[in-house]
Chains A and B, each alone.
Chain A
Amino acid sequence: GAVVSQHPSRVICKSGTSVKIECRSLDFQATTMFWYRQFPKQSLMLMATSNEGSKATYEQGVEKDKFLINHASLTLSTLTVTSAHPEDSSFYICSARDFRGTRLAGGRRSDTQYFGPGTRLTVL
């Protein structure tokens, strides 16, 4: 199956610094990637949708200037948490979806999102 990687898997930083998280699709071209945040014992909350070559679409309540998303290639999206604060500590998960290369029988497209292993961010 399709593989999505994230780097780093774990990061600890000081308050006020910026942290960049990478999400890569390893064996397919991801025209769309999604960034989620998950707090302990809670569900995944979508932060933004990242489309290759265009600006990301942010969900309501997510600060676009704080969570910078770049999807410069078909296999890489990055999330930068700027001026991180302790309340930004969370588990960040990306997923990737390919609308172009996964045509199934009858012309249907793959509906599956493939998730990365997540990045644990701790802001001190």
Chain B
Amino acid sequence: SQQGEEDPQALSIQEGENATMNCSYKTSINNLQWYRQNSGRGLVHLILIRSNEREKHSGRLRVTLDTSKKSSSLLITASRAADTASYFCATDPGAQKLVFGQGTRLTINP
């Protein structure tokens, strides 16, 4: 399977703490994207990082990409209860389609 792996599978932290999720993939990519999914809902696009970029920021989100290790991380700083969701990385290997990781279920405890 081309699917990547995310780690951890589940993460529970206190509100205000930082949350870090990791994603590894198997093939070369054009870009890597992170999505959020609230329970039973569709996906919300968070951030896209291209293969020639190493780090990208968007608000409280920070994404890194290491193409030599085929890995990426998503950091959410100063977490809030509303950040509770599942987070998926998805890679674009250049065939128009996205390959999703297994996801990390993040729970922010008030």
Give me the interface of A with B, judged by CB distance under 8 Å.
1, 6, 32, 34, 41-46, 49, 91, 93, 95, 97, 111-118, 120
Distance in Å: Cβ of A65 to nearest Cβ of chain B: 21
Q: For residue A91, which residues in chain B have a CB less than 8 angstroms away from its CB?
A: 40
Q: Across the A-B interface, give the 8 residue pairs with the lowest CB-CB distance, nearest first.
A: A117-B42, A115-B43, A115-B42, A44-B100, A43-B100, A118-B42, A43-B102, A43-B103
A-B contact pairs, 6 of them (CB 8 A): A42-B102, A43-B102, A49-B96, A115-B42, A116-B42, A118-B41
Chain A interface SS verdict (over half): strand
One of A34, A44, A117 near B41 (C-beta < 8 A): A117
Chain B interface extent, by class: 20 to 34
Q: Is B75 an interface residue when CB atoms closer than 8 A count as contact? A: no
Contacts A43-B3, A46-B99, A111-B92 known; 11 new A-B pairs at CB < 8 A? A42-B102, A43-B88, A44-B43, A93-B43, A97-B96, A111-B30, A113-B45, A114-B45, A115-B35, A117-B41, A118-B40
Interface residues of B (CB under 8 A from A): 3, 30-31, 33, 35, 40-45, 48, 88, 92, 96-103, 105
**B residues less than 8 Å from A118 (CB atoms):** 40-42
- A45, B44: Cα distance in complex, Å: 16
Q: Flag if B40 contacts A120 (CB, 8 Å).
A: yes
Task: Return chain A residues, CB-CB under 8 Å to B33.
Answer: 111-113
